[in-house]
Amino acid sequence: MARYIGCAMTKKEQVKAIFIEEAGEIIEKLDVDILRFEEDSSDFNLLNEIFRGVHTLKGNSNAFGFTRLGEFVHHFEDLLDYYRTTRDEIEEHYLDLFVGSVDVVKEVMICELDEVETLPGGYGEYLGKIKDLIAIKTNKTVVTVPQMSGVEPTIDAISMSDLAAEFGLGCQEEVSKTVTNCIKTKQISQEDGLNLYLINLTLDSDSYKRGFDHLIFLHLLKEKAASLDSFFNMESIGTLDNFLSEENKILNVSIVVLTSQSLEEVTEYFEFLFENEYLITLVEPSITGVIKERDIAPEKPNIVDARKGSDRRKDDRREPTETSSSSALTTKSTIRIDTIKLDELFDSVGELVIAQNFVAQNEKIRAIEDESISRAIETLSKITKKIQDRVMSLRMVAIRDTFDKMKRVVRDTSKKTGKELRLIVVGEETEIDKTMIDSLSDPLIHIIRNAIDHGLEADAAERLSVGKKTEGTITLRAFHKSGSIVISVSDDGRGINKEKVLQKAIERGVVTGDENLTDSQIFALLMQPGFSTADTISDLSGRGVGLDVVKTSIEKLRGKIEVDSKEGEGTVFSMVLPLTLAIIDGMLVRTAGEIYIIPTLSVVESFRPDKEIVHSLKGKGEFVSMRAQHIPVIRLSDVFALDVKRIEPWEGILVCVETGAGRVAIMVDELLGRQQVVIKTLGQSLSKLKEITGGAILGNGDIALILNVDELCPVFES
Amino acid sequence: MEFNGDELTIELDMSMEEIREFEHFVRSRLEYIELIAVEEGTTLKSSALLALLVSLKRTKPELKIPFLEQGMSNSSAYGSIHWMCHD
């Protein structure tokens, strides 16, 4: 797999960073898979997948000195291995041990990364349970050392002998030394046109069953090799008591090959192995002996069932064995790229779009009446649009992973509250900007917990009394709507009591009670800081902090949150988000000769008001009366202190926008149209202006400022 | 495979099935075997056999396996294979 690594890091740090990133991904996946397995513990393909994740984590953890994590996953792996090989039925009460163990793995990983000496609370308990269960299952008696209350085991207390044996620390040094000498010798004799590779094979114990033998790869490499040396580390092979021919016990094989083959050709031989099973390194043809690391351990393809591949090589002797993993059927080739690089690419494409627009709209060029030039500009425009769309799509990822994480939240909250419920997930395939997805988890978790804790009725009896099923329903939905993405959480619970919300808001002085608030405005009060109508406070929700934080988080993503509820039927919290953070869909307006962009998501309507509906109150500014609402008029010329001739509102155009504080009407001279623009950050001086979120370069080279409508306030005349 | 008193001669080019049979055979007779020789002109076909020979040596250190003690094997099919095992 190709990876982008910051050049400021040392090689060791780079490798460690890769491990941390991969370990995080593995743990995240374990978290999801273990829940799926809890739902269907007969899915042995899924169990195999969980096993592989734990196995990879074990190898990597120990390699990086995260021995406490390594020790835990080592035993967890043993337990998983028992069930996957015996296909023994997993008793329901043991499933909690599986789920809990994944929690411990997550916590230990944090301890390892933060170099915290104290192990998490559940470490000793779960390790003991795992060992006990293995003992029960394998009819061996083990004595679990009882833990003293409040004292967690340190790694010193845990036997390391099995790990040391497994990872062959003594012998590996000798192998490394010999391999280094071999490489040096080959470098000296390396001729032009020959490449020198160091290949490390760490085949899993089931590799023979999967049809892979170290010698197969040696045979394939030998065909085109000028020289081929392999070094088998046999340290981990024990006595016959612990030996079975059909299980690979060879810890590691290092191969040094001098060949005319390219990296791609060599990589192809190993493409059916798991990515943790091999590492190919291209050795520089210098006499310095410096190895240029190109970690190309192939991310391919999630191909777990290589045996079913139609292009299997004739001589690789693979035998059909077990089935593929349940979620590993896609054979897409992927590459991991740092998002910083993607952002840079996106910025460059933004510049390209601007330059292309500049060419297309340049009056001097347009004045040239030449068909071939027009055609060339048109082609350039089409290609630029295509590139822009493709680059945009690189940032888009399906929301499935985030939704998967929410399943765990629902499960835990359901257990904690004792409420029986089911989760319905709709639109997992909906794609959203990667940058945005990272910021969505916390708001979603909060809304879901809130929905279960307060949205749903207290218990089954209450639901039955109002004619509902005992089981509550939480629906998580993602869909596109008018160029935005909507993510909603709905429950079929009590619904929101509007009167209660309004009463509370009046008590707290948030509103006076004289306002003629719409339903959505009343519901929006729930998101005021410190506002809570919950009669009881739980550790899940009801503290009055949270929904305002949710609102702020969503607004940071340039989105908004809407609440809809019917008493007795349920509540829907909808997060309306832009497709991406890099581009904004805006309405271009002109005022006082300057162009401004109003985010389309905020725009309700635009109109030229009649004189009769415009009012002016001394000290309170101008208002426009519409549908029984008095909407403040905001003059951009006042906000930005522009020196212009003052016109009356009915001579201009009002753009009515929805803000956090209610609707306001922005007065502009002219509407120029709707356009998608690439957002540019502003320099230090302009970035201090809270009324502006960024800038954009228009096709003709003009610069337009993007308005932050939530910060627009009427400027009153003294 | 030939078993002559306390000397066992094996072919290196065993398939996985043959290796499993060999393992089964040798497990119950290891006590009586003093030497395991390999038939000339044969080449390893699976690393599992190499691993099995190492395991046999670990189980009975006094067992003589000249092929294993060479520490390496050269062949046109696999190049130079070296093996390392600390006892």
DSSP assignment of A404-473 equals HHHHHHHHHHHHHHT--EEEEEE-TT-EEEHHHHHTTHHHHHHHHHHIIIIIS-SSHHHHHHTT--SSEE
For residue A133, which of A87, A85, A93 has the smallest C-alpha distance?
A: A93
Reported as type and span, the H/E element at residue A696 is: strand A692-697
Is A232 in the B-facing interface, judged by CB distances under 8 Å? yes
Confidence of residue A311 (pLDDT cuts 50, 70, 90): very low
β-bridge pairing A195-201 and A431-433: unpaired
Confidence of residue A685 (pLDDT cuts 50, 70, 90): confident
Interchain CB distance below 8 Å, B47 and A227: no
- What confidence score (pLDDT) does residue B51 get? 94
Confidence of residue A82 (pLDDT cuts 50, 70, 90): confident
Please give the CATH number for the structural domain made up of A397-578.
3.30.565.10
For residue A101, which of A78, A70, A74, A122 has the smallest C-alpha distance?
A: A122
Amino acid letter, A255:
I
Q: Select from B22, B59, B86 the Cβ nearest to the Cβ of A239.
A: B59
Cα separation of A159 and A171, whole Å? 20
Cα separation of A223 and A702, whole Å? 63
Interface test with A, best of B24, B29, B82, B87 (most A CBs within 10 A): B82
What 3-state class would DSSP assign to A138?
A: coil
Give the residue extent of every domain in chain A. Answer: 11-166, 168-298, 339-395, 397-578, 583-711
Is B23 in the A-facing interface, judged by CB distances under 8 Å? yes
Q: Select from B47, B76, B82 the Cβ nearest to the Cβ of A215.
A: B47
For residue A661, which of A524, A518, A488 has the smallest C-alpha distance?
A: A524
Structural Rg of chain B based on CA atoms: 12
For residue B67, which of B50, B48, B80, B79 has the smallest C-alpha distance?
A: B50
Residues forming beta bridges with residue A421, ordered by sequence position: A472
Reported as type and span, the H/E element at residue A486 is: strand A484-491
Is B86 in the A-facing interface, judged by CB distances under 8 Å? yes
Average pLDDT of chain A is: 77
Interchain CB distance below 8 Å, B47 and A232: yes
Report domain A168-298's class.
alpha beta
Instruction: Pull the structure tokens for residue A357.
Output: 């627009």
Q: Which residues of B touch A222 (CB under 8 A)?
A: 76-79
More confident: A515 or B29: B29
pLDDT tens figures, A475-495? 999 988 766 789 999 999 999
Multiple choice CATH, A11-166, 1.20.120.160, 1.20.120.610, 3.40.50.1580, 1.10.238.10 = 1.20.120.160
Cα separation of A636 and A590, whole Å? 10
Q: Which residues 146-185 of chain A have a CB within 8 Å of chain B?
A: 170-171, 174-175, 178
Q: Select from A215, A233, A240 the Cβ nearest to the Cβ of B45.
A: A215
Residues A569 and A492 sit within 8 Å (Cβ to Cβ): yes
Average pLDDT over residues A358-378: 84
What 3-state class would DSSP assign to A598?
A: strand
A162 pLDDT more than 70 = no
- What confidence score (pLDDT) does residue A216 get? 92
Confidence of residue A326 (pLDDT cuts 50, 70, 90): very low
List the single residue in A with minimal CA-CA distance to B82: A231
CB-CB neighbours of A651 under 10 Å: 12
Is B30 in the A-facing interface, judged by CB distances under 8 Å? yes
Cα separation of A454 and A261, whole Å? 64
Q: Which residues of A touch B50 (CB under 8 A)?
A: 232, 234, 250
For residue A578, which of A708, A443, A709, A480 has the smallest C-alpha distance?
A: A480
Q: Which residues of A touch B52 (CB under 8 A)?
A: 243, 245
What 3-state class would DSSP assign to A24?
A: helix
More confident: A559 or A160: A559
Please give the CATH number for the structural domain made up of A583-711.
2.30.30.40
ipTM > 0.85?
A: yes
Average pLDDT over residues A464-469: 90
- What confidence score (pLDDT) does residue B78 get? 93
CA separation (Å) from A566 to A458, A497, A563, A570, A572?
A: 17, 8, 10, 6, 9
Determine which of A49-53, A650-654, B11-15 has the lowest per-residue pLDDT on average: A49-53
Q: What is the torsion angle, in degrees rounded to the nearest 10, for the CA atoms of residue A90, residue A91, residue A93 and residue A99?
A: 10
Q: Select from A174, A215, A243 the Cβ nearest to the Cβ of B84.
A: A174
- What confidence score (pLDDT) does residue A210 get? 84
Interchain CB distance below 8 Å, A208 and B48: yes
Q: Select from B20, B44, B86 the Cβ nearest to the Cβ of A246.
A: B20
Give B64's DSSP letter: B
Confidence of residue A48 (pLDDT cuts 50, 70, 90): confident
Average pLDDT over residues A152-166: 35
